[in-house]
Amino acid sequence: MRRIAVMPGMGALAVSLAWSVATQAAEIDVQSKVDSVSLSPDGATVTRLAEVDLGAGDMTLVFKNLPFSLDPTSLRLTGAAQEKMTIGTVEARVSPSDIKSNDSAIEARLRALRADREGWQVTIDALSAKQAMMIRFSQSGPEKLSPETRPLDIGQWNAAWDTVGNALAKVGDELRAARARARDIDQEMKALENNRERPAVRGPGRDVVASLQVPASAAKARLELSYRVPAASWQPAYDANVDTASGTKPRLDFVRRATVTQRTGEDWNDVALSVSTVRVSGGTAAPDIQTQRLAFYEPPVPPPEAAAKAAGAMPRVTARTLGEAAPAPAAPVAVPQIAATERAATLEAGAFQATYQVPGRLSVPGDGTPKNFVLSSRQISPTTVIKTAPALDPTAYIEGHFTNDDDAPILPGDVRVRRDNTFVGTGHVGLVAPGDALDLGFGADDKVKVTRVPVRRKENEPTWLGQTKTETREFKTSVKNLHDFPVRVTVIDQVPISENTAISVEQLPQTTQPTEKQVADKRGVMSWTFDLAPGDSKDIRLAYRMKWPGDRDVVMERAAK
């Protein structure tokens, strides 16, 4: 019997190698495709579908080349099989970057053209040498052309000239055709090289590895892998077309739209898409408020060398700014692309969220190209009013008032407004919960004329120290209805307010009594609402008096609510 000596430690190494081979053999690369995507305003949940033939025993499934930005904590693997199947661990690992090779068809064509070009160059060189030899022979003296080494007879000169000329013409034609063909090949190679794809470098991705156990015989399994990616979103946009042909009974077509974009690194081809109003990045609970203490501001004491170099005034912090959060930047809103006819999505409303299921299946590329579609469309009979703020703009604007009767909220977004199918501008709406009211502008009304003129402005200049300075102002606003039907008008104006006891503002009796003394909880802002018959007009007066110490100056500034 032949014996084989085993060095110490070789047995353990052999077992390790055998286990490694067995482990690698048990790994199965899973071919999957994106089947459905659920979008929120700040991310997306992607579900991949795969069908795998499983053998009995323990095995490892690998889903390759998934987006690097996926959230590993969001990984979920579910499935069903003809036999019992147990899903173990599911984890994500980083896969190395990959460099895609150039187009093989272009490379093959370039190789063929280079070989053809070399062949034609050989032909060009041969013809050029033949042409040069003919020219040298033709330049020899007549005495060297005769076989007897004596001058060629003058009667044979014409024949010699014809022979040389014909030969040179034939070689010239062949050389010209060869050079033309070479130029064509050069141009084609240059075009291919310019259009050839550069090596495309794909950044690192993620491979999802899942362990499965199938104790029985072979089984066919249907698996669903879901994960969340942040580089995808949908933004709401709205179309509002008001029909004013009926005069006092306008009809509003209000269309909800969604604009979907994604840069996840993978294309969503032929997927079932839904959009949800849930915002994942907003957190899951209210923030914890800590005790806030109000104290006098104590500037930090800089070190001597820093104090010597310091320049400029230190910013002053007031009590009003303590604890205030910085305003959030405005969310970018993509301009929607309106198609001629579109089908509306199906609304699935829950107690805390609303989801629109887009009909059919569609594709969304991973390069950020926006995809636009209709979520819902409804006809509304809004209550209209002519609203104007003549202190800022004497234009009269049509404004519609209606209630959000849908089960889904109206999310903040831009509204493309049309009046009688004519585009009049783009407005913006805030968050409107189901059951809340929405005021939407429909553009200017040129048949309601508004003017605001100062009637009186009286000032007294103090003549001695400590005297109070007084200023009285009075304005008249006139509104006239040029329509052939009655309209309801709201005029908004304001008087300044004072938050300093040394400054007083008094509204004078000649002011027309306002319908609403404080509009939208804005101090000093009031409104007058009235009906105007066709051809009628109405005047509104606003008068107030301001007082302050004569040795001080005052300014008008925008105040907080």
Per-residue three-class SS string for 325-388: CCCCCCCCCCCCCCCCCCCCCEEEECCCCEEEECCCCEEECCCCCCEEEEEEEEEECCEEEEEE
Q: How many CB atoms lie within 10 A of CB 25?
A: 10
Q: How far is CA 547 from the centre of its chain?
A: 53
Mean pLDDT, all residues of the chain: 79
State the pTM of this model.
0.57
CATH architecture assigned to 448-549: Sandwich (2.60)
Residue 354 or 141, more confident? 354
Residue 410 has pLDDT above 80, yes or no: yes
pLDDT one-digit tens code per residue, 16-72: 433 343 444 467 888 999 999 998 888 899 999 999 887 778 888 899 889 988 999
* Domain ranges (residues) in the chain: 23-100+203-229, 104-198, 234-277+334-433, 448-549
Structure-model confidence comparison of residues 16 and 365, the more confident one: 365
pLDDT in tens, 473-528: 999 999 999 998 899 999 999 999 888 888 899 999 999 999 999 998 888 999 99
Q: Which residues of 155-187 are buried (b: 16+ CB within 10 A; e: fewer)?
A: eeeeeeeeebeeeeeebeebbeebbebbeebee
At 440 the three-state DSSP class reads strand
